[in-house]
Every structure is written in C-alpha cells, then in structure tokens.
Chain A
Amino acid sequence: MRVAFTANGRPVEADDVWEGESLLYVLRERVGLPGSKNACEQGECGSCTVYLDGVPVCACLVAAGQVQDREVRTVEGLADPVSGDVGVVQQAFLDAGAVQCGFCTPGLLVQTHALLARDPRPGDTDIREALSGNLCRCTGYEKIMDAVRLASARVSAQGRGQA
C-alpha cells in the first residue's frame, strides 16, 4: 500500500508498504528518518517515542496505515528547522551529561519536550512519572533528571519559550 503523511513539517510518501509495518519501520527504513529507535518494538522502552498529531506515542505500536494524512514529529524535528540549532531540551541533555550511548535519547527528548509543553515547571516526582515509559540503561537517570530540571529552568527563564 501507499502511505502519505507529514513528517517534521514535510509531506512524505512511502510505496509498497506491507500492511504489517509499523510507523517506526516506515520512518526508519522508508522515509530516511532513523532517529527514532528500535529497542523493544513492543511499547515498553519508549525509544521510538514520536508526536502523532501532537500527542507522544510509541511509533512501534502504530500501524503504518494509521498515519495516513496525519502529522508526525520525530527527534529529527526538534531542532530549529532553519538554523539546525538544537532546542532547549536537546541542549540541556547535552549540558547535563544525560547522553551516554544515546539510544534512549530520541524518545526521552520527545517525551520531555511534551512534558515541558504541558507543565513548564514539573516537580521531581512529576518528571519521574512523565518519563517512566522511557527506559535508559546507561545513566541511572540522575543526569536525565538534571537535564529536565535544567531545561525547565531555561524554558521558565524565557517565559513561554519554546522547548
């Protein structure tokens, strides 16, 4: 089948898609967006988290056909589309040392981006609850907590700034 949708603001189209393919497979293997990751492919690890019509979802759990005519935003769409500069959340993850192997990072960035969009000043337990669907095996999460606090402080300092 053919699947057409919007990815990071650009219209994309994939042909010869097998009905059993997931959105994650189409992103990674058919439209050149491998940033979303394939760690468990059953919705447990959150590494493939993307926005689907503005809502964070596990791309591995979305059938390709379900995204027809819808909007997807992936980790590749978090940087400034013109300058390519990384966003506040991305920079905070770098600055805080929240990236080690980095395989969990794309999903955590999208999930954190969504968290700060709805609650720019989350408490520690709010952060833990919001990110509890995103596994990280390297960091022990402490630097990820630091990164989210840092991004929150920077977003707050900018007023209603973009994460």
Chain B
Amino acid sequence: MSTRTIQDQKNLRKLNQASRHGIGASPLRPDGTLKVKGEFAYSSDLWHEDMLWGMALRSPHPRATILSVDVSEALKTPGVHAVLTHEDIPGSKFYGLEIADQPALAIDKVRYHGEAIAIVAADHPETARRAVRKIKVEYRVLTPITTEEQCLHPETYGYVHEPQEYKSHAHGNICHEQRLVCGLGVTDEVRAMADVIVRGEYEVGMQDQAFLGPESGLAVPAEDGGVDLYVATQWLHVDRQQIAPVLGLPEEKVRLTLAGVGGAFGGREDLSMQIHACLLALRTGRPVKIVYSRDESFFGHVHRHPARLTYEHGATRDGKLVYSDARIVLDGGAYASASPAVVGNAASLGNGPYVIPNVRMHALALYSNNPSCGAMRGFGAVQAAFGYESQMDKLAAALDMDPVEFRRLNAMAEGDLMPTGQRIDAPAPVAELLRRVKDMPLPPPLDPTDPDIRTLPGARSNTSHGEGIVRGVGYSVGIKNVGFSEGFDDYSTARVRLEVIGGEPVAMVHTAMAEVGQGGITVHAQIARTELGVEQVTIHPANTEIGSAGSTSASRQTYMTGGAVKLAAEAVKQELIARGRRRYGWTQHDIELADGKVVSRSAGVLVPMVELLGDGAIELTREHHHRPTQPFDPQTGQGFGHVQYSFCANRAVVDVDVELGLVKVVELTAVQDVGKALNPLAVIGQIQGGCTQALGLAVMEEIIIRDGEVRNASFTDYLIPTILDTPPIPVEILELPDPNAPYGLRGVGEAPTVSATPSIVAAIRQATGIALNRIPVRPEHLTGTL
C-alpha cells in the first residue's frame, strides 16, 4: 500500500465513529455485487419481447433552413415500422428545462450541428441506421452565428431564434444576463484606492461530461394509452414534466422508472432520447429502445459552456483586495437548457471565496449556432474559478507575496458577506483549507538518474529520459453553491416503511432520487439504519409513483433527499414509539430505537421492535424543503440566493517537458470541508473523481468546433484522463458542521471540480513561466508553436 492510501485509511478511521453500517460508516454499495457480476441492468441493457430500435436523423449543418423532408424511401425499407418528423407530434412541439425553446424534432430550420430532424423505429439497429440514411432532407445552408461578436450584432449576422420566436425574456441573441454591484462598484475613486492593479483575459474550452453509459432507455406503450419509460436520467419528474405535453398526455399516463445510470455529471439533466422513444412506441404500439452511439451522445446532450472571461483586480500594497471588475461571456449554443441558472452561478460565485469590498460583475449567456450548453459538474463556477484564481496568482506575483498567503489574507470566513449581500452563516474555513493543503507532504523530486519513463510526460512514447523536464507546484481554492438557488424550491420526497419480514424489523426506503453512481442509495440505507436502529434496509426502485426527489445535481442529493429520508424515518420512529406508549403506557422521555429494540436510556430495553410492530407496518412519506432563497436582483445581483456553500483547496505538482510541451500531473492534493461525511469512502471517491474531471479540463478535454461543426465526437478524438494520466490524489477531509443542514453535512461532489483546474494551470505556469490564459493547456501553448 502506498503512503497516500494509508493516509486515506487514517482519514477513514478518524471519521468512522458511528455505528457499523449507519451514518459515518462506509458500508458497501447495495448495488455493488450486481455491478461487479455484470448483472446490474443499465438503461442500455434493457430488452423487451417484440422491441424495436429507435434512431434519429441529425443535421450535418449548424444553421440551415429545411426546405423539404422526404421519408418515403426510408418508410419502404423492410423492417422499418415508423418514420416520424415534427408533423407527427401530437402535443406541444417544444420542451426545455427552464425555457421551452427546443423543438422535439426540428421545425423548418436547424440551429446546431446534430439537431434531430426525424426518427425511425426498426427491427434491428442496422436497419434503423440504413433507413435514417434514406431520409432525404433539402437544406438551404446559412452562415452559422458562432462568435461573441456575431452573437451580439444580430442586425448584421442574424438571429439564432427570430425575435418573434422568443419564448422568454431574452433579447437579441442574449439568452440570459446577470449584473452584480456591491460596495462602491468600480469607479475611478475605487481604482485609486488600489496600489496594484492586474488585468487578464481568459478562455475556457467546451468540456463534455463524457459519462460512460450512453443515453438510452426503453419506452413501452401501455393499455391505457399512456407509456412506461425506463430511462437513465438525473431527475425523473422534470423529465416527465417535459415529455407529457409533447406526447399530448396527462402526466399520470407518462410513468418513469429509473434504469441503471452509467454516470451523469450534468449531461442527463436535459432530455435526450426520452421523447423520441415515447413517440415511436406510441405510434408503433411496440416497445422501443434507443441507445446512442458515442458520437451520437456527443450530439445528444449539452456540454459545459465555453467561456471568455475578463477580470481586473486591485489590491493594496499590504495585500488586501480592494475591488474586482469582471465580465463573463458564456456560449449557451442553440437552446437555453440550464443557461440562465449557469449565468446566475457565474455572477454570484465568480469572485471566488474572497472578501472583496467593491465588485462589479456582468455575466451573460449567448444563443449561438454552436452545440447547446447547460449543466456540467461545477455549473458556472468552474469557468469563473479559472479566471479569478489566475488573477490571484498574478496579484500575488505583482505584490511579491506567496500565492497561498495572499489568498489566506483575503479568504472569506463565517460571518462575511458574499458580493450578493448574503451573509455566510455556516463555517467557511477557506484559510484553513489553504493552510492544510500547503502543509501536506510533497511528492519526492524526480530522480533524473533512473526515471521510469512511464511516469514522465510522454511516457512510453520515449520522448525523454528526464532531460528537459521541469517541475512546478500550484495552488487554488474554489467555491460552489449546494442545491438549487435563486428562489427555487427543489424539495425532495421520501417514503419509509418499517415492518417485520422473516422475524426481523426491515426498513424500506422509496424515493425518486436518480442514483447515477454517487452512492445516494448507500447513504439512504445508512440514514434509515441510524434513525430506526435496524440493520436490514431495502431500497425501492426510483420511479414517478412517489413525489419528486429533485435533480441529482448541484451537490444536493444527500442534503435534500437524504434529508427527506431522515424526516420520514424520524416520523416512523415517533409513530412506533407512540404506538408503544399507547400499548404499554411508557412514560419515559428518553426512548430511542437501537439494535432492533425500543430502548430507554434510563430503563433499558422496553420491547423488541418486532413485537411492537407485529403485523402492522408503519409507512410515512415526508417532503424535505431547504430554507427559502431569493432571486438575484437583475441589476445589482443582490439577494439571499444560495442554500449552502462548499469549499475545496488543491495543490498540483506537475512535470513539464518544456521542449515538447507535454505535461504530466504528478500529484493532485485536495482538502475539503464536507460538514459531516455520511459515508467517508464515498466522499473521498467523489472528491477524487471531481479532481480528475478538473484535470481533464486543465490539460486535455475540449470539444473542438469549427464554424459550428463538432470535429471530435468520439473517445478517439475527445480525450478524457486515463489511469496513466491521473496521479495519486491525496485527500484530507474537514468536518465542520453546517447548522442548517441535515447532520451538518455539506454537498461534496462539485467543489473539487471547481477548484482543482486552476491549481494545475498554476503549476504549469510555475514550471514554464508562460502566462497561459486558456484551458485546456495544449502542447503548442507551451512550445510557442501555436
């Protein structure tokens, strides 16, 4: 075992103070055995007697008028059962997460490369593929609107959506914008208070979620004229809310069940194949399965917004921040998706976890003919963090200060105000995280006498045996909100049932939470064990028979649905104790449930739960709402907008082959406050996974787009980190409870994805002395051969 594994184990031991399988422990995943045996049913594994395969025809052009669509040849293909266009849609033709601006199938025009125009159902995927090729579409190709300059001048370059088409408050090609001013804003007087001013322009490429399980699902037509859909998604109820109107069905006739989900990371927040499969199933009267290929997956879901960021910061000679002036332009692509909320995050979190007395910020998302962008882990905070953390390093250099000490000097803490005016009313140990990450032991220096070339930049390519390799170290810290913001009530529902099965008390937990790999179901079982004092917990499949659980996103599920499970379990416990009081006349006020028994701390065991439960199960449903938040004022950005904040600090150590521009991340350390680690093993896994996606954004991951066309829609051409690209990731966890949250916990999943990227770029800058204003950093940026 390596030292860092031991360090993890030590962390685990320190954190493992609770019951064997309750909260604070790390019991194994309930779905783990099925997963390692290959028996877990993912959405792409589903099969049904008589099922057909669905497939979409997608636009090869980013912007075009559709002159005609001829499906006659496709329909004649033997084995083809249906070919549908927008004309076959029985209900509303549009859908969308926040703004219903996206046609389920293109109507008269296409707005991005890959937009679905027609769908086919056939008896074999190859038959469907061939039929798709036989659909004849006549296009009038238009020049795509793709750059900020073009988007902001629609009178010259045109509209992505014609003004009369607007479904929202949007104007021109601006989908959404948010301004923010705090303190005195940024004026000449404010600038004059600063001894040092630094400016920077930064650019972030378009990152893909690249979950491994492709978009897929099975739609089964039902006898009542409705449809049952088994699908991999992040939020069953919001899917249904968008699907039902397009099918022209009431919501109760559209029943969703969660199929096995192969990762999500935001990419399953929007609909992909759901409506298409349902339309085909209802038309043919047969079950229809759709499974995207990897290239179709790149066209079938939204991506992380690429961004251009401009920052100006001023500080005093002794290192105190005076002001920040920032503009963040996010390319939202053809349809709104989650762009408005991403803008809200960029504006409200875009100055980082720092106390800055005077702020002016303008964040906006544009409509363009590039691929649509929406949710990805970090959600608007990632792009901004690259900007503000680059600025912190620049300021520290300009002041001749240590970059960590400079950050610590300006770090926000509990009681401070966000630029939105929201007071931080829970621990915000930003300075402490930075201190700890700096104090973690450094990896040994490169041994130039006998290096294992597999560990060097270039690895087996045999590009260096240690010569030309320079090491660098960089630091960063980031802030992310937890839960949905700006007045949104993203409540969660849970039903808990307690009954006797096989002579043992057993709890059943039913929620609509999408388990996408994060381990929410493990945590639900832990909560039920802790609250109800039982060992056996079963998890009911997630479906729309129960109320919404909200989205598996925004680091919110343990907080929100975990909180709902806690409420429901507490209610069941109170009901059981009340039953005992009625039956046995207990008068004690210290009654608890433990080890399958009802116990009183003063009187000892009162009765086994089995006896009290008898044949009468207790089943109760509870909703969990977080404290209300407020929308941000559109002009000033002021408002109590966020539920909770999450912080992570990182240190990156890199080796750079300065001649070839190759980078090897040697180590990526993370220190994060998690409030309370309900499952330490899963928490560490989230942090390490989040760091690795941040590494991808730093040095390799980008969807390449030329004039609106996607050029690398495959895992051959879009690179995500392999195990060789990924270094050891030592993690240290702090547990400072948030008094507002269930068990004091803090959402975990996104903060490291926000904070880790800038540390890697900072390390490369330190090794090379090159400014590096764009991510991902490519070899040509380091060799000057761009």
Binding site for B on A (CB under 8 A): 18, 20-21, 28-29, 33-42, 44-45, 47, 74-76, 78-79, 86, 90-91, 93-95, 97, 99-106, 109, 124-125, 127-129, 131-146, 149
Contacts and interface: CB of A to CB of B under 8 A. Distances in A.
A45 B212 contact: yes
B294 A18 contact: no
Given A44-B714, A104-B212, A139 B452 contact: no
B292 to A, nearest CB: 10
Interface in B485-522: 516-519
B33 A86 contact: yes
Nearest to B34: A102
A162 to B, nearest CB: 16
Contacts of B517: 100-103, 138
A143 B37 contact: no
Contact of A146 (B5, B214, B455): B5
A34 B38 contact: yes
Contacts of A21: 126
Which of A35, A103, A128 has the most C-beta atoms of chain B within 10 angstroms of its own C-beta?
A: A103
B724 A128 contact: yes
B9 to A, nearest CB: 9
Interface of B: 1-2, 4-5, 8, 26, 28-29, 31-33, 35-42, 44-45, 47, 124, 126, 209-214, 260-265, 291, 293-294, 452, 454-455, 460, 516-519, 681-682, 684-685, 688-693, 714-716, 720, 722-724, 726, 728-729
Contact of B728 (A45, A105, A134, A142): A142
B759 to A, nearest CB: 15
A141 B692 contact: yes
A137 B693 contact: yes
A138 B334 CA distance: 28
A138 B685 contact: yes
Contacts of B693: 137
Given A42-B716, A128-B723, A141-B726, A99 B126 contact: no
A124 B263 CA distance: 26
A71 to B, nearest CB: 17
A79 B37 contact: yes
A30 to B, nearest CB: 10
A35 B294 contact: no
A97 B37 contact: no
Given A41-B294, A103-B42, A131-B723, 18 more contacts: A34-B42, A37-B213, A39-B212, A39-B213, A39-B262, A40-B714, A40-B716, A44-B715, A90-B37, A94-B32, A95-B28, A99-B36, A101-B264, A103-B262, A109-B36, A127-B723, A138-B517, A140-B729
A139 B689 contact: yes
Contacts of A135: 212, 715, 720, 722
A142 B263 contact: no
Contact of A97 (B26, B518, B720): B26
A79 B38 CA distance: 10
A79 B124 CA distance: 32
B212 A37 contact: yes
A97 B685 contact: yes
30 contacts: A18-B126, A34-B38, A38-B44, A39-B715, A40-B714, A40-B715, A74-B38, A76-B37, A76-B38, A97-B26, A97-B682, A99-B32, A101-B212, A103-B42, A103-B262, A106-B38, A109-B36, A129-B724, A131-B723, A132-B724, A134-B723, A135-B212, A135-B715, A137-B212, A139-B688, A139-B689, A140-B688, A141-B688, A142-B729, A145-B728
A31 to B, nearest CB: 12
